[in-house]
Amino acid sequence: MPNRTYAVMGATGHIGQVLTEELLKKGHGVRALGRTLVKMEALRLKGAEPHPLAFDDASALTAAFRGTDGVFVMIPPAYDEADFSAYQNRTGEAIAKAVKDSGVKYVVHLSSIGADRTEGTGPIVNLHRQEERLASIPGLNVLQLRPGYFMENLLWSIPVIQGMGVLGTPIRPDLRIGMVATGDIGAAAADFLDKLSFKGNVPFEFAGPRDVTLAEVASLIGAVIGKFGLPYVQFPYEDAKQGMVGSGMKPDMAELMIQMNRAFNEGRVEPTQILEGTHRGKTSVEEFVRGMAPAFAKA
């Protein structure tokens, strides 16, 4: 018999897959929640129980959460949504209703650094609202996991690096960012669920081993791909927005991303806690960038 049973939303994603596998290794039962059954086959073979469902279906989520010792919840990306904020709120309300109706007592919620802010942070604003929804549920113990800038976001820059010979985003070149690998986030979430030692509403900010600038990252990437001295360029907001839309992103989502980048630049998305010890992951940006080499070769 498993030690405990957990439900994991987004179980086939970068974070959810690591989280699911870590819980299985610890001897727990895992209900793997995802959009399609076929993507969960690998996790089923490792011992997870697949639950294909829509993340805005409160009834299906309630059934999946009921009887578990804890759940991992998230509002997954949906780049095809014309109104991303409406999607975030619709999905967030369904998740909160399912948590309440299922009677589960422990939740780890994937939020974001900057979720302490009530406005002006793009898509992070609705994670703040989701934190409030979950915190208002009577008797619920919720760990609001607030990671920093995902290292995996750097993979989106590969076409720009190859096509323009620069690493470019709207973020300032001198801004130090707490980049973190999604695998470390998954491992941290697994540890919280395994121990179930958090009580009440607990914000927990999480970053990589050290903060870095994107100018530093450009130099590291250049060394890996043989383009030594790869420059970093801060793109104007409007140019960056047009580039996002040109690559297929919905205009509404592109505008939210610009708002978030502006908030980073203006110091409105920054830690409120001391990031030491358990607030730091293990994967360095140097290690992550070295691992990007196959992605460059494939692209």
What's the confidence (pLDDT) of residue 79?
82
When divided into structural domains, the chain yields a total of 2
Would 168 be classed as within a structural domain?
no
Q: Among 160, 190, 206, give the residue marking a domain's end.
A: 206
| CATH code of the domain in which 75 resides | 3.40.50.720
Which range of residues forms the domain containing residue 21?
5-150+179-206
Rounded distance between C-alpha atoms, residue 259 and residue 124, angstroms = 10
Rounded distance between C-alpha atoms, residue 22 and residue 28, angstroms = 9
186, 231: one domain: no
Rg (CA), the chain: 19
192, 243: one domain: no
Would 50 be classed as within a structural domain?
yes
Would 156 be classed as within a structural domain?
no
24, 141: one domain: yes
Residue 188 tokens, joined: 């941290």
82, 187: one domain: yes
Which residues contact residue 238 at a Cβ distance below 8 angstroms, ignoring those fewer than 6 apart?
Answer: none
Would 56 be classed as within a structural domain?
yes
**What percent of the chain is helix, strand and coil (3-state, nearest 5)?**
45, 15, 35
What's the confidence (pLDDT) of residue 298?
82
What's the confidence (pLDDT) of residue 1?
57
187, 245: one domain: no
191, 68: one domain: yes
In order along its 299 residues, the chain shows pLDDT tens digits of 568 999 999 999 999 999 999 999 999 999 999 998 999 999 999 999 999 999 999 999 999 999 999 999 999 988 889 999 999 999 999 999 999 999 999 999 999 999 999 999 999 999 999 999 999 999 999 999 999 999 999 999 999 999 999 999 999 999 999 999 999 999 999 999 999 999 999 999 999 999 999 999 999 999 999 999 999 999 999 999 999 999 899 999 999 999 999 999 999 999 999 999 999 999 999 999 999 989 888 87
34, 61: one domain: yes
**Buried residues in 147-167 as b, exposed as e (16+ CB within 10 A):** bbbbbbebeebbebbeeeebb
Comparing CA positions, the residue from 299, 11, 49, 22 lying closest to residue 154 is 299
200, 220: one domain: no
Rounded distance between C-alpha atoms, residue 34 and residue 47, angstroms = 15
Would 81 be classed as within a structural domain?
yes
Burial of 18 (0-12, 13-18, 19+ CB in 10 A): buried
Predicted TM-score (pTM) of the model is 0.96
Q: In angstroms, what CA-CA distances link 252 with 82, 94, 123, 264?
A: 6, 22, 10, 19
89, 95, 98, 103: CA torsion to nearest 10: -120
Residue 252 tokens, joined: 């509404």
229, 118: one domain: no
118, 249: one domain: no
Show the DSSP H helices in 109-207 as ranges: 124-135, 158-164, 182-195
What's the confidence (pLDDT) of residue 2?
67
